[in-house]
Amino acid sequence: MIDETILEAIDKMEKAVLHVQSQFATVRTGRAAPALVEQLQVEYYGAHVPLQQLASIQVPEARQLLIKPHDRASLPAVEKSIRESDLGVAPNNDGVVIRLNFPALTEERRRDYVKVAKNMAEDGRIAIRNIRRDARKSLEAAEKDGDISADDLDRAEKELDKYTHEHVERIDQGLGRKEAELLEV
């Protein structure tokens, strides 16, 4: 019972860390990266589809993305979704591909992106703490029902805290790397 609860909590914490790391990839640095646009939702024949399923995305230069839709008919829809996104770049459509030219980041913009990354990290920490809280509730209910002893509950809570701190630390390390990457000129 205890092992199952802890393993389930660890699995959920792991997923929370991976989610935060994938969110960090969407925060723009000085370089263009396909992750910036891959998950943009494009309305394609009435359905919302991620851009990565509709087009190939290439990085021909450090500050440029080249988006080539598999179906030319989807070009206006792709362009529209880019314009409506919060990327802050204007798409250049030549009828075959869309080019996104990313300007150099200003110091103020870099600091804004650091704040965004910090908010993402805090959301991840909160998710991990919520997972710990839910696991604790489950363990306390098991102790109340007489399934586990008070000593077992205490040991399990200490183990749960250890894993919580490890996962929060991984998020903090990822934030540190992202912050250094963003502030690098």
* pLDDT (0 to 100) of residue 2: 84
The CATH T-level fold of domain 34-101 is Gyrase A; domain 2 (3.30.1360)
* pLDDT (0 to 100) of residue 90: 85
The residue type of 12 is K
Tokens of 106: 């200003």
What average pLDDT does the segment 13-28 reach?
Answer: 90
Residue 44 in 3-state DSSP?
strand
Looking at residue 86, what DSSP letter applies? Answer: S
What are the angstrom distances between the C-alpha of 110 and each of 22, 34, 64, 104, 180?
19, 19, 18, 10, 10
What average pLDDT does the segment 54-76 reach?
Answer: 89
What average pLDDT does the segment 4-31 reach?
Answer: 89
Assigned CATH for 2-25+106-183: 1.10.132.20
Judge if 2-25+106-183 and 34-101 fold alike in CATH terms. Answer: no
Other CB atoms within 10 Å distance of the CB of residue 37:
26
What average pLDDT does the segment 117-123 reach?
Answer: 94
The per-residue pLDDT for range 133-177, each reduced to its tens digit, is: 999 999 999 889 888 898 999 999 999 999 999 999 999 999 999
The per-residue pLDDT for range 35-61, each reduced to its tens digit, is: 888 888 899 888 999 988 999 999 888
**What is the overall mean pLDDT for the chain?**
89
Q: Where are the beta strands (DSSP E) in the chain?
A: 41-44, 47-50, 55-61, 64-69, 91-93, 98-101
Q: What is the pTM of this model?
A: 0.72
Residue ranges per structural domain of the chain = 2-25+106-183, 34-101
* pLDDT (0 to 100) of residue 185: 65
What average pLDDT does the segment 7-17 reach?
Answer: 95
